[in-house]
Amino acid sequence: MIISIAAFFVVIVVHEVAHGYVAYCLGDPTAKDAGRLTLNPVAHIDPVGTLLLPALLIMSHSPVVFGWAKPVPVNPHNFRDPRRGMLLTSLAGPAANFILAVIFSIIFKLGLFPQYSVLWAFLLMGILISLVLGIFNLIPIPPLDGSQILFALLPQKKLKIFCGFKNMDLLFLSGFCIWVFLIE
For the annotated catalytic residues, the residue numbers are 16
DSSP symbols for 108-126: HHTT-S-TTSHHHHHHHHH
Q: Give the Cα separation of 17 and 25 in Å (integer).
A: 12
Length of the chain equals 184
Report the 10 Å Cβ neighbour count for 56. Answer: 15
Q: Give the Cα separation of 155 and 138 in Å (integer).
A: 19
* Residue 168 DSSP symbol: G
Contact 24, 18 (CB under 8 A): no
